[in-house]
Amino acid sequence: MSKKRTPASSSNFFDSFSTPPSVTKTVKPSLQKKVVPSETAIVYCEGHFGGIDGKTANGLVRHSEKYKILSIIDREKAGQDAGEILDNEANGILVCEDLDEALEVAGRTPDYFIFGIAPASGVLSPEERKLMLRAIKLGMNIVNGLHEFLNDDPEFTAACEEAGVVIRDVRRPRDKKDLRVFSGRISEVTCPRIAVLGTDCAIGKRTTATILARALNDRGIKAVLIGTGQTGLIQGARYGLALDAVPSQFCAGELEGKIIEAFENEDPDVILIEGQGSLSHPAYSTSSFILRGSCPQGVILQHAPGRKHRCDFEGMPMPDPASEIHLIETFANTKVIGLTLNHENMTDEELSAEIIRYQEELGIPVTDALTRSPEILVGMLLSAFPKMGGLSFS
């Protein structure tokens, strides 16, 4: 390994978070390379675009290094601009009523048909099955992020063979004979490891991690993001796995292995790990594997103040960030270094008030990655690790 750093101390963290540090000496140029996807795609998200179960489509509209997204299929929002729906900023990606309109907008057959819904069932409905088989017949490759692996389905494999296309089952783990158990080699990764966790699922962890990675690279701090779910992998994450599809015995080891690969191959200044689910949520175990497999020196916690109950669990109230922070810091030898907010169901004034309230109550920096300056998000990290990447910060 080429890099042997000692993680920066965070002793000055609580004294400096109120004013984000600025770079006083830049020793590296921007590391953020402009990625222009060459493969085109339309994304199916019927009835869910802009909502919680449409998080895969939402994520691809905001960021995609692998596919150029031409349109979204959702008849409920047809005729609207996808960027305006998500972030009140047009991006030229049209929401279409059906596959026929999407093909008309594209002007040709796109390379890929992406299933952009993340339903709790993890399987296709009969109508969705028919639509995807039609997309195959038309000559489109399939990107499937469900737990149902279409390459194991004889009807789908026969259709692909006839059409000369392929199916990418994003969630399929490696063969069991190749899976790794935790080894402890994570200690050899000497750059800071930061996990972006949350108080619920589908709350914005991946979005916050993506924005932070981009902002750090723009400032000459080499950040590598480890994807842990299907959406990040579809977006083009170079390192990662769909953690919820890996047998539990191997989750920590497989994640550890991906982080070590990223460290050895990329020589990064910081590694960011996308969170999944919530440590306190009884329906998910992925957060525990992320904490165990990555052994992060720091955690950024994502919370939605306007969300009253957990996704798909109306009888389960949202936890308070303070309780989640206590649980994380009790469960793992780490420190929550900041809180990021999801502004769903909130006005900007309400969001500003919550930022101030949580900052005063928790004593850590608080921001919203989507509506506030990325400088604040970067400052959150640099306050805890002021010597990150060998740069000088003040």
Give the per-residue SS3 of 154-201: HHHHHHHHHHCCCEEECCCCCCHHHCCCCCCHHHHCCCCEEEEEECCC
Q: Kindly state the average pLDDT of the residues 244-268.
A: 97
Give the pLDDT confidence of 18-52 residue by residue, as tens digits: 344 443 333 344 444 556 788 999 999 999 999 98
More confident: 2 or 235: 235
Eight-state DSSP code of residue 236 = T
* Domain pair 13-30+177-393 / 39-169, same fold: yes
Residue 47: what pLDDT? 94
Q: How confident is the model at residue 387 (pLDDT cuts 50, 70, 90)?
A: confident
Write down the domain spans for the chain: 13-30+177-393, 39-169
Q: Between residues 14 and 126, which one has the greater pLDDT?
A: 126
Q: Over the chain, what is the mean pLDDT?
A: 90
CATH number of the domain at 13-30+177-393, out of 3.90.1010.10, 3.30.830.10, 3.40.30.10, 3.40.50.300?
3.40.50.300
Q: Which helix (H) or strand (E) holds 136?
A: helix 126-137
Range 78-100 average pLDDT: 96
From residue 18, alpha-carbon distances to 125, 268, 360, 388 in Å are 49, 27, 10, 19
Q: Give the 3-state secondary structure of residue 347.
A: coil
Predicted pLDDT at 122: 67
Residue 267's region, left for phi above 0, alpha for psi from -120 to 50, else beta, is left
Can you point out the beta strands (E) in the chain? 23-25, 39-44, 67-73, 94-96, 112-115, 141-144, 167-169, 193-198, 223-227, 239-240, 270-274, 298-303, 309-310, 313-317, 335-341, 366-367, 392-393
CATH code given to domain 39-169: 3.40.50.720
Q: What CA–CA distances, in Å, run from 110 to 65, 98, 107, 324, 389?
A: 16, 14, 9, 43, 41
Nearest CA-CA partner of 252 in 298, 197, 299, 294 = 294
pLDDT at 35: 65
Higher-confidence position of 8 and 34: 34
Prediction pTM value: 0.86
> In the prediction, which pLDDT does 15 show?
37
In the block, tokens 């930022």 appear at 355
Residue 394 has pLDDT above 60, yes or no: no
Cβ proximity of 356 and 331 under 8 Å: no
- The predicted structure's pLDDT at residue 8: 36
Banded pLDDT at 390 (limits 50, 70, 90): low
